[in-house]
Structure 1
């Protein structure tokens, strides 16, 4: 029987029953690759300011926005125009534009060569403060969620702390413009995420769907203010598919809502560039042999995937 809706997990339960929360979240990931998390404790003001900055930027004239596009930058920082990114293997580009913000590092940092300098639009005075404030908040919350994943996998609670320290994580501000009557393509074609886990704000607006193990598309409709958190390909590889990276998409709106834009903000939490993604021994058995006997660094894996989605 296919579930009609994802259950919502409360972070309050995590704080009162770490083991129980870890089991519930791990079970949701093992079945769906997705979990809905409410009561996450993010400051509503931080979220509101970042959403306002997002809307203000995408309301700028096209020529102004394009001044912040970095040619040859593999889409890792600044503005990525409408109609550039495509899902792996897709014939058509996605109907979206977006902005990428990465980790702020000092010039002498050992990962500086892997993480480009952020771009900040001078047209919006508080953009940097408002958007990077949300980046930092989601970065901290992601580590909390990874602690629960570690508990579910019967690893030390702090197992992920060093692998993601100063990781190559990216905050994406997403704008799906109103859709024409007969659009070419969809807002986001079916795909899987590259990273470790994704923390998504703004999924209350209809459109996000995941593909269940039974082959059915399931609408993901979180309660207002809740996060959608899904497994990415890096974590799937590390766990030998015990936790699966699920295919998902954003479909075009119903005709009566086609005139409305859609905004969302995913935080793609990554390992550090030099972290070696090597299958966890406790995720390998006679029944589940190692699918990935050759390890790969997080940076090499990222570059491989960026080429596949036409950003590099």
Structure 2
């Protein structure tokens, strides 16, 4: 598959819809052949996405000193991510050209799950924009429903009970990253975000009108998702690839912003509950060999190795690795 299909997923919301089985097979084909698809029929109003985008712009418009006061720390992976903070974890290349703001699944500070996994807790919401919490969490709740439908469809397509892929997302480690990419010059050979694979289960993103997202095809070329207005781009992450025994494809992608405009993005990363052990639910495909992954440990390692002075160890899961 050299193109990214657009699929109306509205039939997934009715178990007896006459087109449901066909839609399930379309989703499965996209996720096994290229690992990306554009979706419509989510039920999420365009006005809600516009409201989120305006909120993201406002957050990055906060004065620089105040943003730094709300920056992430080694003890709390929530809040502002400074421009140029992240580099490829293998130490190659230059720093990615974006600034971010990290949000996680919202958990009350007295929730007992915090005692089991330090990655849980309340988010750090920018005080300059008190409306941000309700706007973001309302949108987040809608994406939870879309992810639930997609996971159920993929389970159905793989001849698995839907609960096999849906149940691990009770009190998940799902997160969002708000992103701002300044325009890159024509002679800039760096990246907004370097080529990588997502290490989650499933990613959902409302594409920015200025473009910049590029997806690698099986022959090594790069294409841009053709997502209609009001649609969303979805891609498979390494956890679903592992769950499926290599049938679903986690595909490299990157961001290059040569549009001359400011680019704003807010991807949603579906990550299972902290105590989930991700292991093949089906016999692995020939040549697919990968160890099981403990979700809490994996998530902590992703956070730890994001710091420029930290590196992977023998205990770091090899998810997200690009083969040379």
Partner of 1:196: 201
Q: Could you tell me how far apart the structure 2 residues matched to 1:12 and 1:196 are?
A: 21
Q: Which moved more, 1:64-73 or 1:179-188?
A: 179-188
| 8 Å contact kept, 2:119–2:300 | no
1:115/1:168 contact within 8 Å kept:
yes
> Which residue is equivalent to 2:273?
272
Superposed counterparts of 1:171-210, under 5 Å: 171-180=176-185, 182-183=187-188, 185-210=190-215
Which residue of 91, 96, 99 corresponds with 2:98? 96
Shift of 1:108: 4.3
What per-residue deviation string (whole Å, max 9, x for no partner) do you get for residues 7-42 of structure 1? 200013434322211110111011111111012111
Q: Distance in 2 between matches of 1:184 and 1:308?
A: 24
Cα distance in structure 2, aligned partners of 1:20 and 1:181: 43
What secondary structure does 1:283 align onto?
coil
In the superposition, relative to structure 1, how do residues 272 and 61 fare at CA in structure 2: closer, same or farther (>3 Å)? same
- Counterpart position of 2:12: 14
1:159 equivalent to 2:157? Answer no
DSSP 3-state at the match of 1:175: strand
Q: Decide which of 54, 57, 67 is 2:56's aligned counterpart.
A: 54
1:44 matched to which residue of 2?
46
Secondary structure of 2:234's counterpart equals: strand
Q: Where do 1:1-312 residues align within 5 Å?
A: 3=2, 5-15=3-13, 16=17, 17-73=19-75, 76-89=77-90, 90-112=92-114, 113-180=118-185, 182-183=187-188, 185-253=190-258, 257-258=259-260, 260-280=261-281, 282-284=282-284, 288=286, 291-292=289-290, 294-310=291-307
8 Å CA contact retained: 2:45, 2:230: no
TM-score normalized by structure 1? 0.89
TM-score by length of structure 2 reads 0.86
- 1:236 is paired with a residue of what secondary structure? helix
Q: Secondary structure at the match of 1:137?
A: helix
Task: Give the distance between the partners of 2:256 and 2:183, measured in 1 at CA.
Answer: 12
Task: Give the conservation status (yes or no) of the 8 Å contact 1:203–1:220.
Answer: no
Query: Shift of residue 279 of structure 1?
Result: 1.3
CA distance in 2, matches of 1:157, 1:56: 39
- Which deviations, in whole Å up to 9, do the C-alpha atoms of 1:123-155 show, x marking residues without a partner? 113111111111111112111111111111110
Corresponding residue SS for 1:229? strand
Segment drifting more, 214-223 vs 297-306: 297-306
Deviation at 1:67, TM superposition (A): 1.2
Corresponding residue of 2:315: none
Distance 1:277 1:47, change over 3 A: same
SS at the partner of 1:45?
helix
Q: CA RMSD in A?
A: 2.0
The runs of 5 or more residues in structure 2 that have no matched partner are: 311-324
* 1: CA distance, partners of 2:303 / 2:206: 23
Q: CA deviation at 1:181?
A: 5.6
How far apart in 1 are the matches of 2:251 and 2:183?
A: 27
5+ unaligned residues in a row in structure 1: which ranges? none
Query: Does structure 2 conserve the Cα–Cα contact (< 8 Å) formed by 1:88 and 1:191?
Result: no
